[in-house]
Amino acid sequence: MAELADKTNLHIKPQKRMSPWAVARRKFMKNKLAMVSLFFLMTISILSFLAPYITTADISRVNIGSMSLEPSAEHWFGTDKSGRDVFTRLLYGGRVSLLVGISCTMLIIMFGTLIGALAGFFGGLVDTMLMRFTDFILNFPLLVFVIVLNAVFFGKLGGVPVLIAVISVLGWGGVARLVRSKILSEKENEYILSAISIGSRPSKVILKHLIPNVLSTIIVQATITFAAMIVVESGLSYLGFGVPAETPSWGNMLSASREPDVLQNMPWIWIPPALTLIITILSINFIGEGIKDALNPKSLR
């Protein structure tokens, strides 16, 4: 019997242990709401960035003969008060809104992670100086300052690049504080103290040990920032201080709803960008929640 048991055990393959990232990926893929949101976000992104190949209509040409037309087979979402196709402007507007959101998010995460990691790792005078500089940045009212700088520089340097630069320069403070707090708690672990004791360079300790272990927090924060940046761009454009009026964006398209005639009698002009914007923001938030649950080791979902 013992020999039979030994032979049976020989045929039992040892279970392969999954890495934490593989476990997180499996948990995320089981989150149906997050997967549906990811599918929608990828779809709208692909459609927006492939807009020149999907539609050939001119996004800026004023067509007097096609002004304020209701949705039809020729114009799926109708036309606006200048005779421009709403569906075409929706796709091109998505390119601008998503580009601003992605660019601002990347720059904010880079700046915030760098400042927070340096402050948390070195501490002392470096931490004090960097955090006081962060407080100085956080004291600026973002929307008011963006409006002022855009009014000063739009005509000289171009709208979208200045908008991305200003939002990014003023928006990284919260990320820096979050990363700093995570680094402060993480650097007290024994493996970090061991790496420092054997003479590892600070840059190596930060990049190889600390950043990878707080990466999950950074990823979740990036999704929150992405949604917030799209809202900021849309709000500024709606008020007339964001993307230039001649450049289509979801915020610029929504600015037409400020006219009572359009708001009451021409819903096809503002409802498509409004719904697209709302669903996009919700999708990003659901994806962020899915990532947070997937990276949480205590989550049972």
CA-based nearest residue to 38, from 295, 279, 256, 236: 279
How far is 290 from 296, CA to CA, in rounded Å? 10
| Residue with more model confidence, 256 or 35 | 35
CA-based nearest residue to 48, from 101, 107, 94, 111: 94
CA 95 to chain CA centroid, nearest Å: 14
So what's the pLDDT on residue 299?
A: 58
Q: What is the pLDDT of residues 219-244, one digit of tens each?
A: 889 999 999 999 888 888 887 777 77
Q: pLDDT class for 29, splitting at 50, 70, 90?
A: confident
Q: What is the pTM of this model?
A: 0.84
- Please give, one letter per residue, the 3-state secondary structure of 219-279: HHHHHHHHHHHHHHHHHHHHHCCCCCCCCCCHHHHHHHHHCHHHHHHCHHHHHHHHHHHHH
- Which tokens belong to 204? 């190596």
How far is 68 from 90, CA to CA, in rounded Å? 16
- What domains, with CATH codes, occur in the chain? 33-51+78-294 (1.10.3720.10)
Mean pLDDT estimate for the chain? 81
Q: What is the pLDDT of residues 40-73, one digit of tens each?
A: 999 999 988 888 888 777 777 767 767 777 777 7
Q: What is the pLDDT of residues 183-197, one digit of tens each?
A: 988 888 888 888 878
pLDDT at 39 over 90: yes
Q: What is the pLDDT of residues 94-138, one digit of tens each?
A: 888 899 999 999 999 999 999 999 998 888 899 899 999 998 888
**φ, ψ dihedrals at 226, nearest 5°:** -60, -50
CA 114 to chain CA centroid, nearest Å: 18
Q: What is the pLDDT of residues 207-217, one digit of tens each?
A: 888 888 888 88
**φ, ψ dihedrals at 92, nearest 5°:** -65, -35
CA-based nearest residue to 275, from 250, 301, 246, 247: 250
